[in-house]
């Protein structure tokens, strides 16, 4: 794979102790190699089905966390505005190239562990294939909850450690880690699979009320994908997705939750919040110096820079 597509670890010098390591996709050809070749047409299609089922058809301001190159963004067409947030500037440059510049899209490079928005700003959020890279899921979910308004919808996808393949491999002695235990498993550096019960617990502890669970990608097996017609596999997966309400044994699980409990409400035209000192900042579409700490936050190529110590 070009650039090996294996994201490297990026650490922030300033906030090294405070925020966990980020799995960097800077310069990665993830979209091109993982999705655009068509090899994962099945996974892409069944994720589309799940999103259609879980996302409100319409809404005002949506936050797409770990948006990458914007693969899913067109699926949120009924939302008035979408903020695409990713730690990787090169992923967002690709997203911008695909989606274009308009007042509908806001591109932001930032760390999910340090979200640069005022509290209660968003009416909805999605996080697809991204929890997978977060070592501290609890801190990430607390950050997400802070920037959501009351009753905001949160669609979270996670990689399920208790999936049938992992269970079979464990029982046959081909895999050391136990798929039934509650702790997350880091099977490759900065790549984590989670137990569904743990994710449900974390959602609850962070003021999210779980509304629905769909199991997705039941037939993620190359031999099956090669032999069975794409449309048939997608239709079967669509049917099986509903079993997620009873038990989760697929490699990917989609959850829909609603933000509950009280939280902050944004004031005036405040949109961003300095990730260093928390001072409110407007959506300026230009460089701005934080009046609180004096940090210069850049706006370049249509992308807001809010990483504290960017690698590029």
Ligand X SMILES: C[S@@+](CC[C@H](N)C(=O)[O-])C[C@H]1O[C@@H](n2cnc3c(N)ncnc32)[C@H](O)[C@@H]1O
> Which stretches of the chain bind ligand X, using CB under 6 A?
22-23, 25, 30, 66-68, 71-72, 86-88, 91, 111-113, 128-130, 133
* Helical segments of 126-216, H only: 137-147, 164-171, 196-205
Residues facing 65 on adjacent strands: 85, 127
- Rounded least distance, CB 258 to ligand X, Å: 21
Residue nearer to ligand X on the CB measure, 168 or 312: 312
* Helical segments of the chain, H only: 30, 41-54, 89-99, 137-147, 164-171, 196-205, 222-227, 230-240
Total residues found in the chain within this entry: 312
Residue nearer to ligand X on the CB measure, 22 or 55: 22
In terms of Cα–Cα distance, which of 191, 119, 196 is closest to 163? 196
Task: Report how far residue 24's alpha carbon sits from residue 270's, in angstroms, rounded to the nearest whole number.
Answer: 29
Residue nearer to ligand X on the CB measure, 111 or 123: 111
Residue nearer to ligand X on the CB measure, 113 or 154: 113
Residue nearer to ligand X on the CB measure, 22 or 125: 22
Residue nearer to ligand X on the CB measure, 39 or 150: 39
- Rounded least distance, CB 82 to ligand X, Å: 12
- Rounded least distance, CB 171 to ligand X, Å: 29
Task: Report how far residue 144's alpha carbon sits from residue 127's, in angstroms, rounded to the nearest whole number.
Answer: 10
Residue nearer to ligand X on the CB measure, 130 or 238: 130
87 three-class SS: coil
In terms of Cα–Cα distance, which of 5, 152, 1, 135 is closest to 68? 5
Question: Could you give phi then psi for residue 165, rounded to 5 degrees?
Answer: -65, -45
Please give the torsion angle defined by the CA atoms of residues 279, 283, 284 and 289, in that order, rounded to the nearest 10 degrees.
Answer: 20
* First vs last C-alpha separation in the chain: 22
In terms of Cα–Cα distance, which of 300, 298, 276, 213 is closest to 250? 213
């Amino acid at each position: 794979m070009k650039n090996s597509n294996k994201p490297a670890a990026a650490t922030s010098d300033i906030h090294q102790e405070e925020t966990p390591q980020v799995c960097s996709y800077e310069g990665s050809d993830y979209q091109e190699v993982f999705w655009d070749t068509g090899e994962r047409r099945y996974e892409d299609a069944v994720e589309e089905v799940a999103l259609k089922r879980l996302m409100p058809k319409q809404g005002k301001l949506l936050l797409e966390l770990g948006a990458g190159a914007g693969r899913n963004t067109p699926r949120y067409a009924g939302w008035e505005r979408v903020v695409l947030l990713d730690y990787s500037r090169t992923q967002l440059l690709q997203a911008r190239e695909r989606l274009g510049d308009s007042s509908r899209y806001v591109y932001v490079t930032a760390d999910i562990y340090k979200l640069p928005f005022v509290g209660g700003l968003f009416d909805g959020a999605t996080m697809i294939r991204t929890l997978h890279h977060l070592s501290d899921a609890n801190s990430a979910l607390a950050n997400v909850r802070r920037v959501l308004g009351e009753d905001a919808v949160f669609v979270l996808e996670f990689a399920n450690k208790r999936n049938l393949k992992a269970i079979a491999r464990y029982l046959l002695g081909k895999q050391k880690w136990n798929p039934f235990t509650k702790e997350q498993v880091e099977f490759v550096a900065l790549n984590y699979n989670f137990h569904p019960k743990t994710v449900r617990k974390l959602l609850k502890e962070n003021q999210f009320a779980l509304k629905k669970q769909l199991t997705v990608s039941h037939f993620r097996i190359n031999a099956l994908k090669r032999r069975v017609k794409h449309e048939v596999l997608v239709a079967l997966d669509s049917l099986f997705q509903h079993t997620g309400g009873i038990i989760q044994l697929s490699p990917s699980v989609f959850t829909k939750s609603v933000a509950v409990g009280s939280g902050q409400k944004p004031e005036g035209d405040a949109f961003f919040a300095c990730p260093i000192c928390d001072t409110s900042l407007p959506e300026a579409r230009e460089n701005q110096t934080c009046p609180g700490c004096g940090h210069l936050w850049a706006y370049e190529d249509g992308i807001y820079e809010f990483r504290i110590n960017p690698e590029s």
